[in-house]
Chain A
Amino acid sequence: MAEMDTSSGGGHKKGTGVKKSKKMSTRVDLTPMVDLGFLLITFFIFTTTMSLPTTMNLFLPKDTDKPEEQNKIKDNSALTILLSKDNNVFYYEGMLDNSNVSQNFKSSNFGSGEDGIRQVILRKKASTDEKDFMVVIKPSDECTYKNVVDILDEMTIDVVKRYAMVDISEVELQLIKATEAAAGNASN
């Protein structure tokens, strides 16, 4: 096979016994090359991220002090969502006053379960007149940027047309604190 013919014994010896040099195959075993090729392909497929970052557009309302330019929300048709620490979400419907705090102020989460915020929004949306429906988002100082973006995204997912981001009030902060303290005691 692949060895040199060293037994020629002088070039002049010719005749019937001339050895025909064996024709060697030109085929090369490509298996290792293919192996390597596919290895590199898998590497590049896994390291390539085809997805470019996307953006979410957000329009801010202009701050105004004139009451006639401010949008008024109708009682009962609004849903107020409060964002707190550790991905906690609280919500209430309509207005919050002393008489109905205990029934109206409820807690929720970012899950997609029955008590998740998505179901809460959908339930409220179904039970109110579409043109009056409004979601008010009040992030507290302890919630994260992710929470805010998630809830804004939730507005897109649930096709809520009117929503606003508003600063949280002291009363609501107290309520969140009280509720979280109560939940903490209950779990201990």
Chain B
Amino acid sequence: MARAKLPRKSTHIDMTAMCDVAFLLLAFFILTTKFKPAEAVSVTVPSSVSDKAAPESDVVLITIDKDGKVFLSMDNEEKKEYVANTLENEKGIKFNVQEFKKAQFIGVSFSKLPEFLAIPPEQRKGDNMPGIPCKDSTNNEMKEWLRIIKSAYMGQKMNLLVKGDNASKYPSFKNVISAFKYNDLLKFQIITNPVNVPIGSELYKQAKAGLAVKKDG
């Protein structure tokens, strides 16, 4: 008697397709990942519900680290050169303009600038620098810096950013603001980490209402 034999099926699965997808994703993530550049001044920023992306060009960034030290950095090299030349003319300090243009941040007083720029860039760490003096009205070099930068950006848009550490005390922030006010720079932006709007809050309701209106219209 012939019994119908079920053919034995192999348990192997063709994994080619899965492999394709996996490596496609892998390629995507490898290509889109940008490693964070090592920062000379490490700062943990506070969070806010704001969702405006930070500007990327013509940035004048003022960093306040956890000890309340203030640093300055700019991204536009032309403006930096202008600032450097103005500084040399006004203050009579001689320093390496090329090195100044390349410097990631400035963290010393005017008088120490030549020594600061003589340090190799990779050894310039915010922790070892005294920061730009802006303690009080008598010795607030931030005012000077901002005045020169403002004249460098004359008639052009400049993005004034403040990036402060969570743990820094308020007075250093206040000093920076007073330097802004002194120079009539009344609009600036604070760098924050985005968080979601708390559910049930006024803004949340407003955003929902706004969405509903948009849907109707």
Chain A contact residues, CB within 8 Å of chain B: 27, 30-31, 33-34, 37-38, 40-41, 44-45, 47-48, 51-63, 83, 112, 118, 122, 139-150, 152-153, 156-159, 167
A-B CB contacts (within 8 Å), total count = 158
- Contact status A141-B191, CB under 8 Å: no
* Bound complex: CA A48 to CA B32 (Å): 8
* Bound complex: CA A157 to CA B16 (Å): 50
A52: nearest residue on chain B (CB-CB)?
Answer: B53
Which residues on the A side are within 8 Å of B186 (C-beta)? 59-62
Give the contact stretch, choosing among B89-97, B111-119, B131-139, B173-181.
B173-181
State whether A157 and B202 are in contact (beta carbons under 8 Å apart), knowing that A48-B29, A55-B54 are contacts in the complex: yes
Q: Within the complex, which residue of B29, B52, B181 is in contact with A62, where a contact is CB–CB below 8 Å? A: B181
A121: nearest residue on chain B (CB-CB)?
Answer: B202
- Contact status B202-A55, CB under 8 Å: no
Which residues on the B side are within 8 Å of A141 (C-beta)? 169-171
* Bound complex: CA A145 to CA B166 (Å): 6
How far in angstroms is the closest Cβ of chain B from A172? 14
Q: Within the complex, which residue of B12, B166, B169, B184 is in contact with A27, where a contact is CB–CB below 8 Å? A: B12
A30: nearest residue on chain B (CB-CB)?
Answer: B15
- Contact status B52-A57, CB under 8 Å: yes
- Contact status A40-B64, CB under 8 Å: no
* Bound complex: CA A55 to CA B64 (Å): 15
- Contact status A37-B23, CB under 8 Å: yes
Q: Within the complex, which residue of B47, B167, B177 is in contact with A60, where a contact is CB–CB below 8 Å? A: B177
CB<8 Å pairs between A and B, sample of 28 = A30-B19, A34-B18, A40-B29, A40-B30, A44-B29, A51-B194, A53-B191, A54-B48, A54-B50, A54-B53, A55-B53, A56-B48, A57-B187, A60-B181, A112-B198, A145-B164, A145-B165, A145-B167, A145-B169, A146-B46, A148-B170, A149-B46, A149-B190, A149-B192, A153-B49, A158-B202, A159-B203, A167-B174
- Contact status A157-B194, CB under 8 Å: no
How far in angstroms is the closest Cβ of chain A from B146? 13
Chain B contact residues, CB within 8 Å of chain A: 12, 15-16, 18-19, 22-23, 25-26, 29-30, 32-33, 45-55, 64, 161, 164-174, 177, 180-181, 184, 186-194, 197-198, 201-203, 206
Told that A30-B19, A54-B52 touch, could you supply 18 new A-B pairs with CB distance under 8 A?
A31-B15, A37-B25, A44-B26, A44-B29, A44-B30, A48-B29, A54-B53, A55-B55, A55-B192, A58-B188, A145-B164, A145-B173, A149-B48, A149-B164, A152-B190, A156-B203, A157-B201, A158-B201
A140: nearest residue on chain B (CB-CB)?
Answer: B170
Q: Within the complex, which residue of A40, A144, A148, A158 is in contact with B167, where a contact is CB–CB below 8 Å? A: A144
* Bound complex: CA A176 to CA B167 (Å): 21
Which residues on the A side are within 8 Å of B203 (C-beta)? 156-159
Q: Within the complex, which residue of B16, B25, B170 is in contact with A139, where a contact is CB–CB below 8 Å? A: B170
- Contact status B12-A146, CB under 8 Å: no
A158: nearest residue on chain B (CB-CB)?
Answer: B202
Which residues on the B side are within 8 Å of A157 (C-beta)? 49, 197-198, 201-203
Which residues on the B side are within 8 Å of A63 (C-beta)? 181
How far in angstroms is the closest Cβ of chain A from B62? 12
Which residues on the B side are within 8 Å of A156 (C-beta)? 48-50, 203
How far in angstroms is the closest Cβ of chain B from A84? 10
